[in-house]
Chains A and B, each alone.
Chain A
Amino acid sequence: MAPLVSINPADLAEKARRDILQLLEGVRGKKNLVIQKSLSGPLSLFVKFSTLQEYGVDKVFFLENDNVDTSQKNVVFLARGEKAHNIYAMAEQIKRVRRDSQTEHDFSVFWVPRRTLVSDQILEESGVLGEASILEYSLYFVPLAEDVLSLEYNDAFSDLYLRKDPSSIFLSAKALMTLQEKHGLFPRITGKGDNAKRLADLLLRMRSEVSAGDDMMSSGNSILGLTPSASIESLIIVDRKVDFPTALLTQLTYEGLIDEVFGIQSNQTEIDSSIIGAAAPQSSQASSSTAPSGPQSRMRKIQLDNSDSLYTTLRDSNFAIVGPLLNKVARRLQTTYESRHTAAKTTAELRDFVSKLPGYQNEQASLKLHTNLAEEIIKHTRSDIFSRVLEVQQNMAAGADPATQHDNIDELIARDVPLRSILRLLCLESTLSNGIKQKDLDIFKRAIVHAYGAQHLLTLSALEKMGLLTVRSGGLASINPTARGQAANTYTNYQTARKNLALIFDEVNESEPDDIAYVFSGYAPLSVRIVQCILQKQKITSLSSQRGGTPTAGTTNATTGWKPFEDTVRQIRGATFDEVQKGEEKAVKARQILSGSAHGAEKTVVVFFLGGVTRAEIAALRFVGQQMKEEGKGRKILICTTGIVNGDGVIGAAIEEKGFGGK
C-alpha cells in the first residue's frame, strides 16, 4: 500500500501491461491469440503488437470472426466473462478447432476481468471446461489520458438503460474498489441518480465484505482494513440518466466533433487516407501496431492522445477557434524555419538547430494532419443539414416551445437525413420537456416508419424503454417540490434547472472561455453543473443570482456535499446522496501520523460517470479543474467512466439494424 501517492494513471497502464504479459508467459511456447473485438482497442492503449510477438504471440484473431486457425499448438482466448454469448462463441470455437485439427491443442482462456460461475457452467455443458486452463485477467480501468480512466465497456449504456442489466454497475464498483484498496477509502461519496446510488451502496457493501474477509484471516494480505484516503478528497458519481440531453446534443469542441463525424475508439480514429494523405511513415502517430490481421483498406488509423502536443491544445477548444489556433501554430513554425538563415551563423548554432529539427518535423506533420481534419469537419459543419439540426438543438436547449420546431424536423425526415440525427432531435425534445404530446409523437412515429422502414418500430420501442422518447402524461411529467413523495423515478425538470443552474449562457466567449458553456456554444452541460454544485459552490451561486434565478442560500464556503443546492438538485431525476466513509479511529490516527507531513498536498477529486461521458463533458470538467486551480484550491479532477459515449452511440443502442429485405 502506498496511500500517500495520488492516483497515477500511468501506473494502472503499467500494471495492466505487466499482468497480460505475465499471463502470456504462463502459456509456454508460441501461441495464437483470439481476442474479443471490443477488447482489442483498450489493449492497444498499453501494449504493442510487437511486444505481444516477443511474448510468443504468432497471430491475432477476433473472436467474432470465428476464424482461428490451427497453426499453433497453443490457443489463447481473451474475452469478457460477463456476456453469455461470448462464452458460447468461445465454446463453439474450441469445439471446432478440436474437430478440424490434426494435432492436439492446448487451450487457455483469460477472462476479463474475472472468471464467472456462469462461464464455467456453460463451458461445462459444452464439454470443454476440462480442456482449457482458465485464468483471470483483472483489467478494469484503462487510462485514456492523464486525467481520464475508462472501463471501455461499450455495452454499458445499452445494458443499463435498455436491458436494465446492472453488470456494469457491479464492474464499476469493483473498479473503484481497486482504487480504494490502493489509495484508501473515498472520504466522501456524493452522487446523483438511481444507478449512482446503487453503485455507492455496492461500494459500502464491498467494503464490509472486505473487512469480513479480514476478520476471518482468509485473505490475510491487507492489514489494517481500509481507512480514509489522504490523497483523495471525494468521489462524485453522476448517473447518465440524470442528464440525457447533454449526450444527445452535437458536441462542438474539436475532439467532440471528431467523435461526431468520424468516431473515436480507444483514442483512435479511422479516417479515409484521401482526406489526410497517405500514412506518413516517419510520423510516430501512424504506428497502429496492434491492428491485427485483416485487410488494411484505404482507412488510416490515427492516434489521438496527449503524445501530440498540438492536439492537446486543440482538443478541448470550441471548434470555432480551431482555425485561428492552427493558423498561429503555422505562423510560429514558419518563423522558426526562416530564422535558421539569420540565427544559424556559427556551426554551434547550426548544430543546435539541426538537433531540434526532428521536433519541428513532427510538429509540422501533426499540423498538417489537424489542418486536414479541421477542413473536413468544416465541410460537415457548413452543410445546410448540419446547421438546420444545430438550430433545432439550440432552440430546444434554450427552452423554446418544442412545437415550433416540428416543421423543421418534418422537413429533415422528408429529406432523408440519417435516422440517428432525427432520433437525437426527438429524444432531445422528449427528455428536455418531459415527453412529447401523444398526438405529435404518433405523427413522428408514423413519419419515421414511412421514411426509414418498419423495422424501426423496434427502434422506437427500445427508445421508449430507455426513457429517451416518451409520451407526455400528467402523472410523471413534472417534478415540483410539492410532489416530493414519488421522487424515485421522475424526470429532470429542465425549466427550473435551466434557471437555477444557469444552463443557458448566451454571451459565452469561445476563444477565451469563462464558463463551461463554451463546449456547446452557449449550453452548459447539466451533468457538469451538478459537479460544480459540489466543487464550485460560490461560482454557481453568483451565476444563478446574476441571471435572476432564485438566489440560493448565502455563502457557505466551507461546506461540502450538496449544500446549499439541495432544492435545485431535488428537481433533477433520481436519488441524491452524500455518504461519509470513516475508518476505525485507531487506524485513522495511525494514518494521520504517517501522513502528517503531506498535509495540504493536492488532493484528487474522482468524478465517475456511470453510463458514459461525452468528450465535451470531459473538456468542460478539465475547464472546471483549470478554474479551481486559478482560484487556489489545490485539487485535481480525475474523470472515470464506464465508457465514452456520443449521441449516435446512445441512439445506436436502440436502432434495429436489420431491414425487411434481409441484411
Chain B
Amino acid sequence: MPLETLAITVLWIFLYGYLIVASIDFGAGFFAYYCNLTGRDHIVNGIISRYLSPVWEVTNVFLIFFMIGLIGFFPDTAYYYGTALLVPGSIFLVLQSLRGSFYAFAHYGARNSKAYQFVYGVTGLFIPASLATVLTISEGGFLEKTGDEIVLLTGKLFTSPYSWAVVFLAIVSVLFISASFLTYYADRAKDTAAIKLLRSYAVAWSLPTIFASFLVFLSIHQHNPEHFANMMDVSWMFLLSFACFCGALALLLKKRNYGWAFILVMLQFAFAFFGYGQSHLPYLLYPYITIADSIASPAMSQALVIGLIAGLFLLIPSLILLMRLFLFDARYVEGRPVRK
C-alpha cells in the first residue's frame, strides 16, 4: 500500500474510534441533562458516571491524534484548514475546554448544579455539530482562495442544505450511538430501570438517524456530483451499513442481545464512515488538497510510519487493559467493590 493511503487509513480509523467513543460521551451528557430536567436522573446517573469516569480523558486524545497525524502526514491541511477555520476552530476549542474541565470539576461537588448539567449536555450536541462542519467544508465549495488568502464562505456554509443535513446527522447519530451503548452497559449492570429508559431512547433516535443518513446521501448528489458518483461505486458498503442498522433495530425492538445490537450499530457506522471516506479520496479538501500532497521527505515519512507502528503497539494493549478493567469487568460495571 502506498504510504499516503496507509497514513490516511490509519488516521481514518482513529477518527472512527473518536466518532464512537465521543458519541457515547456526548450523548451521555445530553441524556443526563434531559433526565435531570424530567426528574429521572437517579435512574441513569450511576451507569453513566461509572462508564465515563475512567475514559473521559482518553476520548479527547483520539481527536487530537487524528488532527496531529493529519497535519504531520499532510502539512498542506494545516495551511488551508488552519487559515479558514480560525473562528469555528476557536469556538470548538472553547466548547471542548468547558466540557472537558467540567467533567473533572463535577466530580467534586458541581454535579448537581443545573448550570453544570446544562453546559455539559448542550456542549455535547454543539461539539459534534461544529466538528461535522469540517467534513462539510472538505467537500469543497465553501473556501475561496485569492492569492495567498484563504477565506471561509460563512454565508454559503450557513445557507447550504447539505451542511445542515450533515449537522442534523451528526446530532442524531450521537444520540443513537450513545443510547445503544448505554443500553448495553445498563444490561451488563443488570439495572432494569436504566435498560428500559435507555432502550426507549435508542429506539426513538434510530429512525431520525437513518433518515438523516439518506438526506446526506442525497444532498451530496446536489453538492458534489463527482463524490456521489464515487460513492455509487462502493454502494455495497452503504447497503451493508443499512442492513446492520436493520439488524440492530430488530434486536432493540425484541429486547435482547443488546451487546450484538451495539456491535451492529458500530458496524453500521463503520461501513458508512469508511464508504464515505473511501469515496472521498483522493481529495482531502476538494479540489485543493489530495492525498498526493503528502510529506515530501522520504526520511520523515519513514520515521512517521515507524513511530506510528511503535505507538500502536503501545496503545492497543493499553486500551485493551482499560476496557478489561472498566468495560468488561462485571463487578465494576455493576457497581460492586472489585478486589483481585
Partners in one complex: no
- Show the binding face of A for B, using Cβ within 8 Å: none
